[in-house]
Chain A
Amino acid sequence: MRPFHPQFILEVLPQLVLYLPVTAAIVVGTVFFGSLFGILLAAGRIRRGRAGRILANLYIYVIRCVPSIVLLFLVYYGLPELLNTFGVNINDAGKGFFVITTFSLLFAASMAEVFRSAYEAVDKGQREAAVSVGMTEFQAFYRIILPQCIRVAIPNFTNALVNLMKEGSLAYTIGLIDIMGKGQLIIGQNHGSYSLEVYLALFVLYWVLTILIEKGAGLSEQRLAPDRNRRGGLSKCS
């Protein structure tokens, strides 16, 4: 039986926590670029144009079918060569660049679905009513449609975010040092021993992160719930 040192978990946790900002940066960067691309995809599916819809659907279908690790390696080995043919040299780009590119490509597909279902969940009459009381198209979207969309989108967005954070742990396979990568380094420094302790510490970290994200989402959903304000208003009327 291999030796097991529970106290090493506590020793290793602070070292891993130091690399949380890297993990967070990957997630934040991906959410930013992935959402931008996701909006384009969702627009392609909602708009009338046939070509846009077919392209967006095809992209989402392909991405849904491809394991993240395959896409990560494809981007890591393929993107520099592809851009090289156009005369762009990104061989000096950091690992983070490839990780954020890969996960943005993946995240955009799930975000497109989140945006589309949120947009379709809001009644068409809302926009018409807003425009009919004299709002501009932009005002109607920003003040009436968007707040409702956000509330509908929160559960799906949370799911996508948690998945992104978990898949992000694959970044260590191309050598990025986030919490997972640091864990592997620590195991390496100890010549392969303490692996169980390090993995357990990582379990704790990822689990806590997931719970925090879900709790945060639950709170913001509550805050955005319309019933809270409306009930007071209604009772005044009656």
Chain B
Amino acid sequence: MQLNTQFMWETFLDVLQGIPVTLKIVVVTLLVSSPLGFLMAVSKSGEGRIGRRIIVAYVSVIRGTPVVLQILFLYSLLPTVLNYLIKEVLGSSYNIFNLDPIFYAYVVFILNTTAVLSEVFRSALSTVNRGQMEAALSIGMSRPQAYVRIIMPQALVAALPNICNTTVNLLKSTSLAFMMTVKDITAIAKIDASFGYNYLEAYLVIFVVYIFLCSAVQGVFHLTEQGVAVYKKPVVS
């Protein structure tokens, strides 16, 4: 077995251009999904029965089906539906098929990650003693104030390891974005490999790139965990 090292180096340089795309999907997804997931977690423990049923069903379907399937389904559904809406309903002449496919990637991964995060936040919220909320309300805070100042800082400590896990899984699932013709790391490697059937070399390269990216994500979360857990440290007098 011999590896084409020249090709591997060139692929590595090409793949570097895909890293921003991959990270963009991860960051945008997390930024949109976190507040949505949090709202879901809060309303799941709330009173509305119909709302709760819908959320439970949504989370169950998303978590019970493969991401590939969600990607394939939405990628064959969304463009035509959007095209119909824009052409027929809005009467605009905008051509939806010129839209950067990364938007479809955002939609799929946001739908997916929101469901996962809502579970993460729900379990994190349940670790905070109920008395904390009552105490905050009793001294005259409003409910949003109580959440932002009292509940969330405590829940975040319990949630961070799981959020880290979710982010790592999200990073890994973005490797499927090539199915929506997004030019991320995996897509670039596949394209490079297909010229000379150097699949083995190309996948070895992105194997290493993903390990590096994943380590970076875990490093960032490790630092954040130390920052967030500040109130757990003993006070030095």
A residues adjacent to B (C-beta < 8 A): 1-2, 62, 64-71, 73-74, 77-78, 81-82, 84-85, 162, 166-167, 169-170, 180, 195-196, 199-200, 202-203, 206-207, 209-211
B149 CB → nearest A CB, Å: 33
Expressed in whole angstroms, the Cα–Cα distance for A194 and B30 within the complex equals 33
Is the Cβ of A202 less than 8 Å from the Cβ of B69? Answer: yes
- B209: nearest residue on chain A (CB-CB)? A70
A8 CB → nearest B CB, Å: 14
Is the Cβ of B199 less than 8 Å from the Cβ of A73? Answer: yes
Is the Cβ of B64 less than 8 Å from the Cβ of A77? Answer: no
Is the Cβ of B211 less than 8 Å from the Cβ of A66? Answer: yes
Is the Cβ of A67 less than 8 Å from the Cβ of B173? Answer: yes
Is the Cβ of B76 less than 8 Å from the Cβ of A199? Answer: yes
Expressed in whole angstroms, the Cα–Cα distance for A74 and B215 within the complex equals 20
Is the Cβ of B214 less than 8 Å from the Cβ of A206? Answer: no
Is the Cβ of B76 less than 8 Å from the Cβ of A195? Answer: yes
Given known A64-B214, A70-B206, contact A199–B66 (CB-CB < 8 A): no
Expressed in whole angstroms, the Cα–Cα distance for A169 and B176 within the complex equals 12
Interface string of B62-83 (1 = CB under 8 A from A): 0111111100110011001100
Please name 10 pairs of A and B residues whose Cβ atoms are closer than 8 Å in the assembled complex, sorted by A: A1-B88, A65-B215, A67-B173, A70-B207, A162-B63, A166-B65, A169-B66, A202-B65, A206-B69, A210-B64
- Asked if B60 is at the interface of the complex by the 8 Å CB criterion, the answer is yes
A37 CB → nearest B CB, Å: 19
Is the Cβ of B80 less than 8 Å from the Cβ of A2? Answer: yes
Is the Cβ of A68 less than 8 Å from the Cβ of B203? Answer: no
- Asked if B13 is at the interface of the complex by the 8 Å CB criterion, the answer is no
Is the Cβ of A169 less than 8 Å from the Cβ of B68? Answer: yes
Expressed in whole angstroms, the Cα–Cα distance for A209 and B204 within the complex equals 34
A28 CB → nearest B CB, Å: 18
- Asked if B31 is at the interface of the complex by the 8 Å CB criterion, the answer is no
- B190: nearest residue on chain A (CB-CB)? A73
Extra pairs beyond A85-B1, A162-B64, A180-B66 (8, CB < 8 Å): A64-B168, A64-B214, A65-B210, A195-B72, A195-B76, A196-B73, A199-B69, A206-B65
- Asked if B61 is at the interface of the complex by the 8 Å CB criterion, the answer is yes
- Asked if B186 is at the interface of the complex by the 8 Å CB criterion, the answer is yes
- Looking at the complex, which one of B73, B172, B199 makes contact with A66 (CB distance below 8 Å)? B172
Residues of A within 8 A of B1 (CB): 81-82, 84-85
Is the Cβ of A69 less than 8 Å from the Cβ of B176? Answer: yes
Residues of B within 8 A of A199 (CB): 69, 72-73, 76
Is the Cβ of A70 less than 8 Å from the Cβ of B66? Answer: no
Is the Cβ of A68 less than 8 Å from the Cβ of B172? Answer: yes
Expressed in whole angstroms, the Cα–Cα distance for A66 and B172 within the complex equals 7
Is the Cβ of B203 less than 8 Å from the Cβ of A74? Answer: yes
Is the Cβ of B84 less than 8 Å from the Cβ of A1? Answer: yes
Is the Cβ of A65 less than 8 Å from the Cβ of B214? Answer: yes
Instruction: Please report which residues of chain B, range 198-218, place their CB below 8 angstroms from some CB of chain A when the two chains form the complex.
Output: 199-200, 203-204, 206-207, 210-211, 213-215
